[in-house]
Structure 1
Amino acid sequence: MIVHSFPPLIDEASRVLVLGSMPGVASLNAHEYYGNPRNYLWRILYALYGAGRGVDDVYEDRLRFALDNGVALWDVIATCDRPGSLDSDIKEVVPNDVPGLLSEYPGIRAIVCNGTKSHAELMKHFGSDPSIASRRVVRMPSTSPIPTKDFRNLEDRLHAWRAILEL
């Protein structure tokens, strides 16, 4: 099944670009970045930047919160063939124009790859591009709720994601 990512969420004040691989089925169906309520991304961003504030219920308020804190969102992959939501099932990748976005928004100083697949695809398609090489690129554990050997839950991931506060 061919799936398509969303347009970037970014503005002139954005300093950190969080790149996913491709939205999962729940996000695609909701037409929302990280629209699966089990995904940890929004809880992580609010824990890092929200000073104890809970995650906004309204999607547009979550988008505004990200932008107000200098965080942009996009995906490395524009389209791919993927049945379901697993990154391991992704085939026939067509990348988004990440270098083009970075030239349009030169204030982005760091790229945070949300998971291994995002990082691998970014490096495969654009690793030698000067717009990528001139910025700090950090691979964070995926915010997917699927436990891994090193990251079992929200707290494990939040601990690792605290590093983006230094970017």
Structure 2
Amino acid sequence: MTKSAFPPVINAATRLLILGSLPGDASLKAAQYYAHPRNGFWPLIGGVLDEALTALPYADRLERLKARGVGLWDVIASAERSGSLDAAIRSPEAADLRGLIKGLPQLRAVAFNGKLAAGLGRRILSDLDGLALVDLPSSSPAHAISLSAKAASWAILGKFLLDKPAA
């Protein structure tokens, strides 16, 4: 079954772009990034921002990310996949990462949420100057390390955030 990425969550203040691989079934069903209840994304990025994002409605979470200079998207625009595991992705079509990044003048870093996102994203973006590329352990519950261990790696993202929320 062909599955497609969501539109990017960005604005002119985006300094940090977090890229996943492709939304999983729970996310696609809910039409929300990282909707699986056991996915650690919202607690992890909430820890980086020092905000309790999981308690907020989804639209408010996205607004808080954008206010702090954080954007979301995926490295894969569409692919064949049965289920939600990255290992099941077949015939991936890359998202236009370079095109998106051209429109983000404040962008300082791209963080990859998981190995597949990092492998594909680095191939597309590795030759761009002045942009930090950061590999993160996947927030997926399928990546079986503790949330606290993941949080220690994700903490590096704090140095790319806006200190004050964007207007």
- Number of the residue aligned with 1:160: 153
Tell whether 2:86 aligns with 1:92: no
Q: Deviations over 1:28-81 (max 9, x none)?
A: 110001111111111111112135x35233110110111111110000000001
- Deviation (angstroms), 1:166: 2.4
Matches of 2:64 and 2:77 in 1, distance apart? 24
Tell whether 2:137 aligns with 1:135: no
- Deviation (angstroms), 1:123: 2.4
- Number of the residue aligned with 2:141: 145
Matches of 2:159 and 2:108 in 1, distance apart? 11
Matches of 1:54 and 1:33 in 2, distance apart? 13
Count of aligned residue pairs for this structure pair: 160
Say whether the 8 Å CA contact 1:113–1:119 is kept in structure 2: yes
List 4+ stretches of structure 1 deviating above 6 A.
none
Question: In structure 1, the residue corresponding to 2:61 is in which secondary structure?
Answer: helix
Matches of 2:122 and 2:143 in 1, distance apart? 25
Say whether the 8 Å CA contact 1:10–1:72 is kept in structure 2: yes
- Number of the residue aligned with 2:118: 119
Larger relative contact order (Cα-Cα within 8 Å, sequence gap ≥ 6): 2
- Number of the residue aligned with 2:48: 48
Equivalent AA in structure 1 for residue 134 of structure 2 = V
Equivalent AA in structure 2 for residue 36 of structure 1 = H
Question: In structure 2, the residue corresponding to 1:166 is in which secondary structure?
Answer: helix
Matches of 1:57 and 1:86 in 2, distance apart? 27
Say whether the 8 Å CA contact 1:15–1:107 is kept in structure 2: yes
- Number of the residue aligned with 2:80: 81
- Number of the residue aligned with 1:11: 11
TM-score, length basis structure 2: 0.90
Say whether the 8 Å CA contact 1:26–1:36 is kept in structure 2: yes
Question: In structure 1, the residue corresponding to 2:79 is in which secondary structure?
Answer: strand
| Residues 165 and 57 (structure 1), Cα distance of their counterparts in 2 relative to 1, 3 Å cut | closer
| Residues 123 and 117 (structure 1), Cα distance of their counterparts in 2 relative to 1, 3 Å cut | same
Structure 1: state its 5+ residue gaps. none
TM-score, length basis structure 1: 0.90
- Deviation (angstroms), 1:8: 0.1
- Deviation (angstroms), 1:147: 4.0
RMSD: 1.4
